[in-house]
Amino acid sequence: MHWGMVLTTLLLFVPSDRVCAQVVLNEVLPAPGTDWTNNGIFSSSEDEWIEIMNVGPTEVAVDGYFVGDASGGAQTPRFGLTGTLAPGEHLFITGEHASDWESANGFPSLGLSLNNAGDTVYLFQVAGAETTVVDSVSYGTELGENVSLGRVPDGTGAWTVSDALVEHGTGPQPTPGGANGGIAAPVILESSVTPAFPGPSDPIMVGAVAADSDGIAECALRLRTNGGPAQTLAMTRTEGADTWGTWEIGLPAQSAGTSLGVTVRVSDGSLITETNEVEVLVGLGVVTVALNELLADPPPDLAGDANGDGVRSTSDDEFVELLNHTESSVDLTGWSLHDASALRHAFDDGLVLAPGEFYVVFGGGAPAGIPSRFAVASTGGLSLNNTAEEVRLLGPDQLPRDTHPYGSEGNADESMIRVPDGTGAWTRPSQIGSPDPFSPGAPNANTTAITETSWARIKALYQR
């Protein structure tokens, strides 16, 4: 994230086509840099958002209203509104909401598809055979990470840049679902545990970047050890200021097999924000064989036949892919795969992975055409939940070699992948421009040369 971003270009506004509209666009954030959906996972497509508001004195039915952008216009709805909005009510719409709506209504799952380099957001209304532009707003390249554009005061005021979540920002704070320019909850922009896979001799550092235009009054770590009661430990600001800064706390080395539940909590004195709890398992501290690709939600119809046996199955086509990303062979005798609740697969004695070798475990079926060695789950299935799950790879000592917890991103008709293979951050094929929803036994995103960073800049044109 580029926290020192400076806004140097002028806003480009297209006059709104609305005439005394009761339902209006109120705020837009096209370039997210943090987890605005609060699902525990950052996504450059799912975490972008817009806000709509009823500025009238009466409740209004919003069936027939939809939002679009310059690339799709009235021909490509991104999200359709339903129900009613009360007077003064805000409607917060994320890219995740839009993607779900598109999938449910027969459109390509593109999310809001807001272009980071400039776009126009439209609010349309369909009445009979007429489609009318109710409201619109345009922006240019000045809306960087976590910078929104909103009306101040709400609904009727001038469009104003809100950049308080950027280091040295001087404007107000983005307020999804709340009054623009008003009181805002603190935002945790980043949180981290270092090292991610601590060994028994490794001290552990928990860090957070947080911001609030009202100032952070307290940043604390809530820590649970081996599932016990939580204790609250104060974190220390090491950089920045109360309005935007970095907080840290060091923990002593823990014995192998210890499970730590880590939650970061920030308060501005009245409002509190917390991260989801992250489980840190103390193992050997060195990841040689990594979880590299997971498919919990095979796409519908034959397109979801991940194991290549000619049948699409919600259970058989689930898979977990491993990669030995080291320069030495690794013997998997005694290793096993688990989910959050049970053992799912025990690897065969004598199974050795060569350097750079992939290995895939499918839920079931009769896998065919897989470009690597593979197996079906020894317990009869992987039973991966589409949401709120954790996959664990344990060594022969039953200590973790790698883990991957995930949330709603597992429920997306595609796999979760590491880019680069074995060592990179977790993402999804659609988020880096790959046309393939999964690639068991092969390198991730091998069909595209687009990197995760460059893809974020052009996602409005090509994503998913």
Q: Which of 281, 309, 331 is the last residue of a domain?
A: 281
* pLDDT in the model for residue 451: 35
State pTM to two decimals. 0.74
Q: Which of 235, 256, 281 is the last residue of a domain?
A: 281
The answer on pLDDT for 447 being more than 60 is no
List b or e across 30-52, with b for residues whose CB sees 16 or more CB atoms inside 10 angstroms: bbbbbbbbebbbbbbbbbbbbbb
Q: Are residues 269 and 306 in the same domain?
A: no
Mean pLDDT score, 270-287: 88
Three-class SS state of 461: helix
Q: Are residues 273 and 298 in the same domain?
A: no
> Is 157 a domain residue?
yes
> Is 176 a domain residue?
no
Q: Are residues 48 and 156 in the same domain?
A: yes
The more confident residue out of 25 and 340 is 25
> What is the percent of the chain with per-residue pLDDT over 90, rounded to a whole number?
72
The answer on pLDDT for 88 being more than 90 is yes
Counting Cα atoms < 13 Å in the Cβ hemisphere of 281 gives 20
* pLDDT in the model for residue 41: 74
> What are the helix (H) ranges across 180-266?
none
Mean pLDDT score, 107-126: 92
The more confident residue out of 118 and 458 is 118
Q: Are residues 56 and 142 in the same domain?
A: yes
Tokens of 38: 């609060």
The answer on pLDDT for 187 being more than 90 is yes
Burial group, residue 188, by CB count within 10 angstroms (0-12, 13-18, 19+): buried
* pLDDT in the model for residue 446: 61
Peptide bond into 153 cis (omega under 30): yes
The answer on pLDDT for 204 being more than 80 is yes
The answer on pLDDT for 115 being more than 70 is yes
Mean pLDDT score, 214-228: 96
Mean pLDDT score, 323-331: 96
Q: Dihedrals φ, ψ of 352, to 5°?
A: -120, 130
CA atoms of 196 and 285, how far apart (whole Å) = 8
pLDDT-derived band at 2, boundaries 50, 70, 90: very low
The answer on pLDDT for 412 being more than 80 is yes
Tokens of 78: 């991104």
> Is 1 a domain residue?
no
The answer for residues whose C-beta is within 8 angstroms of residue 84's C-beta and 6 or more apart is 59, 60, 61, 62
Q: Are residues 75 and 118 in the same domain?
A: yes
User: For residue 286, which amino acid is it?
Assistant: V
> Is 82 a domain residue?
yes
> Is 10 a domain residue?
no
Q: Are residues 306 and 442 in the same domain?
A: yes
Q: Which domain holds residue 137?
A: 23-162
List b or e across 325-348, with b for residues whose CB sees 16 or more CB atoms inside 10 angstroms: bbeeebebeebbbbbeeeebbbbe
At 89-110, the pLDDT tens digits run 999 999 999 988 988 898 888 8
Three-class SS state of 27: strand
The answer on pLDDT for 13 being more than 50 is no
The answer on pLDDT for 28 being more than 60 is yes
pLDDT-derived band at 464, boundaries 50, 70, 90: very low
Q: Which of 264, 281, 298 is the last residue of a domain?
A: 281
At 362-401, the pLDDT tens digits run 999 999 999 999 999 999 999 999 988 899 999 998 888 9
The answer on pLDDT for 267 being more than 70 is yes
Q: Are residues 324 and 441 in the same domain?
A: yes
> Is 173 a domain residue?
no
At 222-236, the pLDDT tens digits run 999 999 999 999 999
Mean pLDDT score, 274-285: 87
CA atoms of 139 and 104, how far apart (whole Å) = 29
Mean pLDDT score, 213-222: 96
Q: Are residues 363 and 267 in the same domain?
A: no
Q: Are residues 266 and 306 in the same domain?
A: no
At 131-151, the pLDDT tens digits run 999 999 999 988 999 999 999
Residue 262 belongs to domain with CATH number: 2.60.40.10
> Is 361 a domain residue?
yes
The answer on pLDDT for 402 being more than 60 is yes
The answer on pLDDT for 36 being more than 90 is yes
Number of domains in the chain: 3
Q: Dihedrals φ, ψ of 365, to 5°?
A: 80, -165
> Is 169 a domain residue?
no
Min mean pLDDT across 60-69, 188-197, 449-458 is at 449-458
pLDDT-derived band at 455, boundaries 50, 70, 90: very low
Q: Are residues 140 and 214 in the same domain?
A: no
Residue 395 belongs to domain with CATH number: 2.60.40.1260
pLDDT-derived band at 9, boundaries 50, 70, 90: very low
* pLDDT in the model for residue 20: 58
Q: Are residues 151 and 218 in the same domain?
A: no
Residue 150 belongs to domain with CATH number: 2.60.40
Q: Dihedrals φ, ψ of 107, to 5°?
A: -100, 155
Q: Are residues 258 and 316 in the same domain?
A: no
Three-class SS state of 324: strand
